[in-house]
Homo-oligomer: A and B are copies of this chain.
């Protein structure tokens, strides 16, 4: 498997396609890449009633064109009985099949003497392209050295314990989880409702550990959206419609066991961005940090010749008259270049997040203390193997990326997303019944 490279967690931008299967995708370094597919942005308005199927060979919400809003939730399993876990997966499967189709979990007016099965805040609301995507964390297979459910022997090698990266400041209350659910739709209330119902169905078996909502701006689907740093983000993410690419770099084959065949691995990282600090930087320094122009998105290595297309590949060799590289050695885009990463491919599907403001003691001049924006990037990526995907790429980036002075990884997790569910089956059935 050889895949084009792209950047890791701290930005969703700056993917540089190259080599291998990527030939058809983005062209090698130096070739003139073209916008070969619309970016992963929403294709429907808030008012569309889009119903996406829950059942299928793969879980939905991975290669699905990105919806406007997400709600990610990680759960701790509190039971030690596998049968409870099976019952939960059956329950979540049934609920997901209904929720994605805009169906109430139960008509709330059936029996006034009982609690309504569905909280009802989406009654009459379109399903808004809701997808629900489930994952299993490493701790489901081994927690504090204990194999709680007898699943240890079927843990895929790719489902590693995440290494600690340079600069990680992971808050336990926002890190890990035995189970994960990613709700995505074009309506925040639809996502909220879905997660709320799943939380309730988990009662007594599993409880929520952390959540994070996010959004993408409403750019035209043919325009690369901008993230909160103000730069274009997603210029050269691989096309989810390229089935060959997805097979090679996103979907698991036989290597993870039957229950993971057609599944994938999700890396989720909430990354706080020091926006007040970033905003104080000169435009030139921002561009040096990123390696691209802010307005056009063109790589700095191209703009010496006046070219301003975001789709021009990076040129790592171009230098000024004194021999200094136009693209700084530690520029985000340079470090993410395929020539630096031995071939890795991840499908990024992140969102911006905004958690309001919180108290910060600045670690930069003028060392102010006060309320600052608690906002940034809910980085989400999918890959066939995180060891040759996110971990490979981010190991270097975490050490050298100039952007690190503006971004802090504050939590996250790795989750094995099982293959899709066929009607009559349930999530992770092939694992839990093996």
Contacts and interface: CB of A to CB of B under 8 A. Distances in A.
Interface of A: 42, 45-47, 68, 71, 107-116, 118-126, 128, 186-190, 192, 196, 199-200, 207-213, 215-220, 223, 226-231, 275-276, 278-284, 286-287, 293-295, 352, 354-357, 370-371, 373, 375
Contacts of A114: 282-283
Nearest to A372: B208
B217 A125 contact: yes
B124 A196 contact: no
Contacts of A215: 188-189
A281 B189 CA distance: 21
A195 to B, nearest CB: 9
A120 B13 CA distance: 15
Contacts of A188: 215, 217, 354
24 contacts: A46-B46, A46-B68, A47-B218, A47-B220, A112-B282, A112-B284, A113-B283, A115-B281, A116-B279, A116-B294, A120-B226, A120-B294, A121-B217, A123-B230, A125-B218, A125-B219, A128-B218, A188-B215, A188-B217, A189-B215, A192-B352, A200-B276, A200-B279, A212-B356
Contacts of A217: 121-122, 125, 187-190
A210 B357 contact: yes
B356 A211 contact: yes
Given A128-B218, A229-B121, A116 B286 contact: yes
A192 B356 contact: no
Contacts of A189: 215-218, 228, 352
A223 B124 contact: yes
Closest 9 CB pairs of A and B: A120-B230, A112-B284, A189-B217, A46-B218, A45-B45, A188-B215, A116-B283, A121-B230, A187-B218
A108 B283 contact: yes
A223 B71 CA distance: 25
A78 to B, nearest CB: 10
A227 B190 CA distance: 12
Contact of A213 (B107, B123, B220, B354): B354
B207 A108 contact: no
B122 A226 contact: yes
A208 B360 CA distance: 12
Given A213-B356, A215-B189, A217-B121, A287 B112 contact: yes
A89 to B, nearest CB: 21
Given A354-B192, A355-B355, A119 B279 contact: yes
A115 B283 contact: yes
Nearest to A229: B121
Given A188-B215, A230-B120, A109 B208 contact: no
A86 B355 CA distance: 30
Interface centre among A107, A123, A227, A280 (most CB of B within 10 A): A123
Contacts of A226: 120-125
A120 B283 CA distance: 11
A109 B283 contact: yes
Nearest to A359: B173
Contacts of A223: 124
A304 to B, nearest CB: 13
Contacts of A228: 119, 121, 189, 192
A83 B38 CA distance: 50
Given A45-B45, A282-B113, A356-B355, A124 B219 contact: yes
A429 to B, nearest CB: 28
A126 B218 contact: yes
B218 A186 contact: yes
A295 B121 contact: no
A251 B213 CA distance: 36
Given A118-B230, A119-B228, 4 more contacts: A45-B45, A46-B186, A115-B280, A192-B228
A278 B282 CA distance: 50
